[in-house]
Structure 1
Amino acid sequence: MRDLPLPTLPFSDLRPSEASRRSLPVAPQGDAVAPSRARFHVGWARSEEEVRQAQRLRYRVFVEEMGARLSVPKHAPVGHDVDIFDPFCEHLLVRLMDADGQPGEVIGTYRVLTPEAARRAGGLYTETEFDLTRLRSLRPRMVELGRSCVHPEHRNGGAIMALWGALTEFMVRNDLDTMIGCASISMRDGGHYAASIWKQLEDRHMADIEWQVRPRLPLPVDELRQDLTVEPPPLIKGYLRCGARVLGRPAWDPDFNTADLPMMMRINDLPARYRRHFLGGDL
């Protein structure tokens, strides 16, 4: 397995369309995001340097901002968040358009592990935290989303909506229907916030029992406060608005000092307004 990520296109017969490299407005009309004239350019990384740009943003957010302790492969460059799954993933980038209408710095990213790439990688990152046995039947059309982050100056909703639009178009074009991944919750308060979020979501947003999974290192929610009046992080709230479901109890990730919720979002569960925005009402 390679230590350093290399350009991963072509997509093992998966191809993003021109639509996935378009410039997008900040959000669909009617969504509660801050007013902005900023526009975003969304595209897939086509070179090692573009992957490096995503990894530098991830380092800034996860290490410098959140205090994560990374275990990076040998020879990984300083100031980059790199792991062994990166060489197998497709990296989606959102850039802020500059004054001349040209794509500028990377201000948001997702990485995507397709079914074929997961077979080459020997599994999913999520499997390091959860037993995914019950999802076996979904895997031929299931992708894993991970390492999502947005620059702190651009967290008004526009960048993440631009990323989601490109992801949804990619899924539909390639006959994929399920997205899974870990949604992280800070544990800077010792875990009480995360346990209280879990309690809220357990009551209202759980997946059917047939899809529920088990954490390998569970967050000890029964030893933590679960009665705090708190709001889920914006990313989790966004997933829930798009019809996502929680697959089980949170895992504890000591390296990132987070509680990780396993979540699943299916294309057929997208509410009508998001289908119209992302797909032009084609579904």
Structure 2
Amino acid sequence: MTVLLNKGRYRARLAQCEHDVIAAQTLRTQAFATDQRDCDPFDDRCGHVLVEDLKADAKLVCCFRMLTMQDGSEIGRSYSAQFYDLSALHGFAGPMVEMGRFCIHPEWHDPDILRVAWGAMTAYVDQNGVEMLFGCSSFAGTETAEYLDAFAMLRQRHLAPKRWLPRVKAPDVFRFASRLRRSPNVKQAMLRMPPLLRTYLMMGGWVSDHAVVDRYMNSLHVFTGLEIGAIPAERKRLLRAVAG
């Protein structure tokens, strides 16, 4: 068993077998409320991280998958490349990991679960010299109205640097950077921001200038990137304290 992190009642480990992957798919199905088991061809290409509650008979309470790439020349084989034109990232020189299908069991609400998941990812990043994390950060549902303050904040503070900015590829998108001119209500923006995206942003992450309307997953998602070298030193210290 490849354990990435033991912290309190939780253990984060890499999936070892088909049974582990099926368990992750089952949790995803429950968390995303899909009609059929959530699986796709990318599951076979990825490593899967499982977070288990050791005080509940090692119940699976969180999972995500990782697709590792040597550099930006492999960006076209990512899940995100189905929805975004990522040609700007083709020249990224260092190792990259796409983090996807992140979910937490709907009956577990302990904030330590998210901390352990990020601690496990931090351990993986350090062990493998990863220089960028990226993925699709999702808002529940496909209606934009309740997220306008969150999108306004993304436009105002968190757009990708021009050198990495993804271009539009999907047929159905919400171009919030060009359409919104409102100033965000910060409190409402943070309330409506997905926890995973909020964590990315706290570490210096950035997003695409548009959201993709994904009707299969019943979500709106933004491409999200995080350059490891740009994470503030204090935030790195805190993450490594959890990972250690």
Matched, 1:142 2:96: yes
Matched, 1:23 2:6: yes
Matched, 1:49 2:6: no
Match of 1:162 in 2: 116
1:190-214 CA-partner distances (Å, limit 9, x unpaired): 2212343222111011121111112
1:134-170 CA-partner distances (Å, limit 9, x unpaired): 0012265111010000012223321111111111111
1:109-131 CA-partner distances (Å, limit 9, x unpaired): 11000116999997111001100
Counterpart Cα distance in 2 of 1:164 and 1:281: 8
Match of 1:209 in 2: 162
Counterpart Cα distance in 1 of 2:107 and 2:196: 15
Q: Which amino acid aligns with 2:153?
A: Q
Q: Secondary structure at the match of 2:81?
A: helix
Matched, 1:193 2:176: no
Q: 1:140 to 1:276 in 2, by over 3 A?
A: closer
1:200-257 CA-partner distances (Å, limit 9, x unpaired): 1110111211111123232254779967744312222111112211132111111112
Matched, 1:235 2:196: yes
Match of 1:86 in 2: 43
- Aligned with residue 112 of structure 1, among 66, 69, 84: 66
Counterpart Cα distance in 2 of 1:278 and 1:180: 17
Which protein is bigger by CA-based radius of gyration?
1
Q: Which amino acid aligns with 2:58?
A: G
Counterpart Cα distance in 2 of 1:96 and 1:56: 16
Q: Secondary structure at the match of 1:152?
A: coil
- Aligned with residue 40 of structure 1, among 10, 16, 30: 10
CA contact (8 A) 2:64 2:102 kept: yes
Q: 1:195 to 1:184 in 2, by over 3 A?
A: same
Matched ranges for 1:252-267 at <5 A = 252-267=213-228
Counterpart Cα distance in 2 of 1:98 and 1:44: 19
Matched, 1:172 2:126: yes
Counting aligned pairs with the same residue, the percent is 27
1:169-203 CA-partner distances (Å, limit 9, x unpaired): 11121111100100001235x22123432221110
* Unaligned 5+ runs, structure 1: 1-8, 10-15, 26-38, 70-78
TM-score scaled by length of structure 1: 0.74
Counterpart Cα distance in 1 of 2:95 and 2:54: 33
Task: Please identify which structure carries the higher helix content.
Answer: 2
The count of corresponding residues between Structure 1 and Structure 2 is 235
Counterpart Cα distance in 2 of 1:115 and 1:83: 19
- Aligned with residue 174 of structure 2, among 211, 216, 219: 219
Q: Which amino acid aligns with 1:47?
A: C
Q: Secondary structure at the match of 1:138?
A: coil
Cα RMSD (Å) of the superposition? 3.0
Q: 1:85 to 1:210 in 2, by over 3 A?
A: same
Match of 2:87 in 1: 133
Q: 1:171 to 1:125 in 2, by over 3 A?
A: same
CA contact (8 A) 2:67 2:98 kept: yes
TM-score scaled by length of structure 2: 0.84
Match of 1:245 in 2: 206
Counterpart Cα distance in 1 of 2:37 and 2:73: 25
Counterpart Cα distance in 1 of 2:159 and 2:58: 39
**How big is the shift at 1:269?**
2.3
Q: Secondary structure at the match of 2:102?
A: strand
